[in-house]
Amino acid sequence: MARPATVLGILVRPFASLMTASKLVGTILSRRLVMGQLGQMDDRMLKDIGLTRHDVWSAMAEPLFRDPTVGLVARARESRLATKANLREKLAHARLVETWERENRAA
């Protein structure tokens, strides 16, 4: 059987929800301030962390109630993975060329 709600419990629940919402708003606002700092970086610095200026602008275009850093983290991860894949492909190609040159020199 369910326990009857107490007056204190009824009063505390909305307050707890309000506190959670205010923490979320504070987090989103502080991350938007960080986004402003990213916007001041030059293109070389952004490239070093796997982002482009367009990535930063796109993230800042998100509605105010969304955390803009979520999309940036995904974009940076995609960029790193693409860079790694590109490097692996170049390395494999260089090894194939090296093997081909070795075999053709011997002939």
For the chain, domain boundaries: 9-106
Q: Is residue 28 within 8 Å of 66, Cβ to Cβ?
A: yes
- Per-residue model confidence (pLDDT) at position 9: 67
Q: What is the pLDDT of residues 54-103, one digit of tens each?
A: 888 888 888 877 788 888 888 888 888 888 999 999 999 999 989 898 88
Residue type present at position 3: R
Q: What is the pLDDT of residues 6-32, one digit of tens each?
A: 766 666 777 777 778 788 888 888 888
Q: What is the 3-state secondary structure (H, E, C) of 4-20?
A: CCCHHHHHHHHHHHHHH
Name the pTM for this structure.
0.53
Q: Residue 104 is encoded by which pair of tokens?
A: 């053709």
Q: Is the pLDDT of residue 3 over 80?
A: no
